[in-house]
Structure 1
Amino acid sequence: MMETKESEQRKKQAAFWLEYSQQLSTAIRYGEALAAAERAVQLDETCTEAWYARGTCQAMLAQYELALAEFEHALALDISYVPAWDGKAWVLGILGDKAGAMKAIDKALELDPEYFEAVMNPRINDGGLQHPHGTL
């Protein structure tokens, strides 16, 4: 029983750090956002969204290989987490792997045909660095 309460508390703390990471990212403070996302992962290693947030921050800091690894980790936790497929496509596009990026977009659309970021993804076509979310 005590372990469950402790686990619940850690998940709540992780959610706080994840939200804080998102706020920092919105403020274009990616280094600090990454640190907050890393804290969320330390508190809850099973939090798919925290791994995704780490990947997004890494990508915004031009650490593309690290970002790709973070998105892959998020997908290992939840293969159907569409934002991680989108993030993977984003980074693969930046790295010049257009075929891999398109496969990731196709997977995102297979999972959620209405997924706006995947449908309207200009990054694959122009190789741009801008993430469509603007935030995490």
Structure 2
Amino acid sequence: MWIRGRRTNRFLLPGSKRKRKSMVSEEQKKQAQFWLEYSQQLSGAIRYIEALAAVERALVLDDSSVAAWYAKGTYLAMAARYDEALTAFEHALSLDEMYVPAWDGKAWALGILGRKDEALAAVNRALELNPEYFDALKRKKRLEL
């Protein structure tokens, strides 16, 4: 597609291996970080729906934040919206497949959804990346029962 004499790749298929360049300004990144940190404070106060709204504001500002996608998955899972949580964890992994908390979050959602084999595969991947990741060690023990 051509816009103003420049070729764009605006219509890449989902799952495409080509990464788009971040068009996020430093100011937007700062604001996104503020909303992410605020969402974490709300989560700590067990206000998951409000935390979800705050992290969504962060993602509007910077949708390339792996930590924000992971946080969104966590808040969705805490609100018992497991399919949506799984999607958020998978999106985080599409941005950084080495992000151990997202692998553990994916295992968490899959386990609750009754997809034990997939959950074990995800938690094993988390432990391959970080053999001492405490949450994944606990999750693996629970999944193997």
Q: Please give the alpha-carbon distance, in whole angstroms, between the structure 1 residues aligned to 2:121 and 2:44.
A: 28
**Once the two structures are aligned, what percentage of the paired residues are identical?**
63
TM-superposition CA deviations, 1:78-106 (whole Å, max 9, x none): 00000000000000000001111100010
Equivalent residue, structure 2, for 1:44: 62
Q: Please give the alpha-carbon distance, in whole angstroms, between the structure 1 residues aligned to 2:142 and 2:69.
A: 21
5+ residue gaps, structure 2, are 1-21
Equivalent residue, structure 2, for 1:31: 49
Following superposition, the deviation at residue 125 of structure 1 comes to: 5.1
TM-superposition CA deviations, 1:40-69 (whole Å, max 9, x none): 111101100000111011111111100000
Give the CA RMSD over aligned residues: 1.6
Return the index of the structure with the highest Cα Rg.
2
Q: Which has the higher contact order (CA 8 A, sep 6+)?
A: 1
Task: Output the TM-score relative to the length of structure 1.
Answer: 0.85
Q: How many matched pairs?
A: 122
More helix by share: 1
5+ residue gaps, structure 1, are 127-136
Equivalent residue, structure 1, for 2:143: 124
Q: Once superposed, which parts of structure 1, at least 4 consecutive aligned residues long, lie more than 4 Å away?
A: none
Instruction: Tell me, yes or no, if the aligned pair for 1:90 and 1:124 is still in contact at 8 Å.
Output: no
Task: Output the TM-score relative to the length of structure 2.
Answer: 0.80
